[in-house]
Amino acid sequence: MNIALLGFGVVGRGVYDLVAPRSDIRVTHVLCRRDLSLPDATVTHDFQEILLDSSIDTIVEVMGGLHPAWDYVRDAILAGKNVITANKAMVAEFYDELIPLVHQKNVLFRCTAAVGGGIGWLSELERVRRCETIRKVGGIMNGTCNYILDSMTQRGLTYTEALSQAQHLGYAESNPTTDVDGIDTWHKLIISSNIAFGVSLNKHQIPVCGIRNILAEDVALFRSHGLCCKLVSTGQMQGGHFSAYVQPTLFYDDDIESTVPTNYNLITLEGNTSGRQSFYGQGAGRYPTAYNVVQDCIDFTQNHGFYSIFQGKVDICNDNRLQYYVRGSSDSWLESHTAETWGKAAITTPVTVEQMHAWCAKYPNVFMAALPERKDIQC
């Protein structure tokens, strides 16, 4: 197997290192903007050189961003090359075009490192689908947010202090708003749900609320009630009905989610017969992420391609009712849906996820978090 690596940053370098001792997989070309010299691979600035080289059968895209990453991936598939990527934003954004194209051109495509870094989450979804229906997926999918929330809860840091440490440790995306506003988790939820349910969720109907407005006073209130805040994604299928959303969520101190430390992820599925299974590990970092890229390469050597079928686009309806903690603004709607108050915050009566997110979208400084659902079913 001859690979061209598109990108030689944190993950690209990791893939190069992990593949080096293997005889079945060779990195023969690297596309890189920098001037770089490698002992056993041709470094080029020109993607056309890679596209036109028939000795390269597989493209590994680890450059990130939407463009030119998507343009290169699409051209490679059209040219009949197999593709592996760790780029969740690109896969989530272009899923409806990407997956049908992969099937139409009969090439291999995998993106295991795009969700959960080094956790074999997407590949496990594929295995579960072989013998049962997945009802629910989701969980803690962003290491940066978990680091911030964990540092505020366990070490009493302010949001700003914790974010700056997460950036310093290299967990955050180049633009940390992608992490703290929940967009990175949103991308990972879209990919996970699409693969788990074999469809393409209408992503414009999936609401997302991040953690940028959380304050130390919120965390102190949660602690006094025996609760811990995490940024959580949820995707559910019941009958032909789909719901999906990303939001801060409160867990009891003895829930497994509350114990997830620093930059770790905890991603959960619920299957019809297997019940609930959770996957825990490092969701980011050079070698954990590169490990899953290499796993995809090995799958290709066994002619093993995409995880699931593609049955077309489906609509989302977030009509399930939850109670929420809401601080930072108020109006007549919130007042008429307030069951009690905690300090300056309102605890709502059960309202639909759709109603709560629509309300929050009007007030950019608000912090909200869903209260725990029944302890046995919370993803």
Q: What is the DSSP string of 161-228?
A: HHHHHHHHTT-S-SSTHHHHTTHHHHHHHHHHHHHHHTSEE-GGG--B--STT--HHHHHHHHHTTEE
Residue 230 near residue 340 (C-beta atoms within 8 A): no
Minimal distance, residue 172 CB to ligand HSE, in Å: 6
Task: Please name the residue that has the structure tokens 């609930």.
Answer: 276
139 binds ligand HSE (CB under 6 A): no
C-beta of 10 vs 215, nearer to ligand HSE: 10
Report d(CA 116, CA 284) in Å as an integer: 7
184 binds ligand HSE (CB under 6 A): yes
C-beta of 126 vs 179, nearer to ligand HSE: 179
Please classify residue 279 by burial: count the beta carbons closer than 10 Å to its beta carbon, then call 0-12 exposed, 13-18 middle and 19+ buried. Answer: middle
118 binds ligand HSE (CB under 6 A): no
* Of 12, 138, 139, 143, the one binding ligand HSE by CB under 6 A: 143
Task: Pick out residues in 275-304 that bind ligand HSE (CB under 6 A).
Answer: 283-284
Give CA separation, 15 vs 69, 147, 306, in Å.
17, 25, 20
C-beta of 15 vs 172, nearer to ligand HSE: 172
Question: Closest Cα partner for 5 from 38, 279, 342?
Answer: 38
Minimal distance, residue 161 CB to ligand HSE, in Å: 17
171 binds ligand HSE (CB under 6 A): yes
Question: Closest Cα partner for 157 from 169, 165, 145, 146?
Answer: 165
Report d(CA 124, CA 72) in Å as an integer: 28
Residue 311 near residue 201 (C-beta atoms within 8 A): no
Count of residues near ligand HSE by CB under 6 A: 11
Q: Which stretch binds ligand HSE (CB under 6 A): 36-44, 140-148, 312-320, 366-374?
A: 140-148
Minimal distance, residue 114 CB to ligand HSE, in Å: 8
138 binds ligand HSE (CB under 6 A): no
Question: Closest Cα partner for 270 from 357, 162, 193?
Answer: 193
Q: Which stretch binds ligand HSE (CB under 6 A): 10-18, 141-149, 237-245, 353-361?
A: 141-149
Task: Pick out residues in 352-371 that bind ligand HSE (CB under 6 A).
Answer: none
* Of 112, 142, 151, 192, the one binding ligand HSE by CB under 6 A: 142
Structure tokens belonging to residue 379? 């993803």
Minimal distance, residue 245 CB to ligand HSE, in Å: 18
144 binds ligand HSE (CB under 6 A): yes
Give CA separation, 210 vs 149, 222, 318, in Å.
11, 17, 17
Task: Pick out residues in 2-31 that bind ligand HSE (CB under 6 A).
Answer: none
Minimal distance, residue 376 CB to ligand HSE, in Å: 27
C-beta of 49 vs 173, nearer to ligand HSE: 173
* Of 32, 137, 172, 190, the one binding ligand HSE by CB under 6 A: 172
Report d(CA 15, CA 276) in Å as an integer: 32
Residue 202 near residue 313 (C-beta atoms within 8 A): yes
Minimal distance, residue 271 CB to ligand HSE, in Å: 25
| Helix pair 143-155, 216-224: axis angle to 10 deg | 70
Minimal distance, residue 355 CB to ligand HSE, in Å: 29
Residue 56 near residue 32 (C-beta atoms within 8 A): no
Residue from 188, 203, 230, 375 carrying the catalytic annotation: 188
Q: Which stretch binds ligand HSE (CB under 6 A): 139-147, 205-213, 239-247, 369-377?
A: 139-147
The alpha carbon of 116 is separated from its chain's Cα centroid by a whole number of angstroms, namely: 7
* 188 among known catalytic residues: yes
Residues with a known catalytic role = 188
Q: Which residues bind ligand HSE (CB under 6 A)?
A: 117, 142-144, 171-173, 179, 184, 283-284
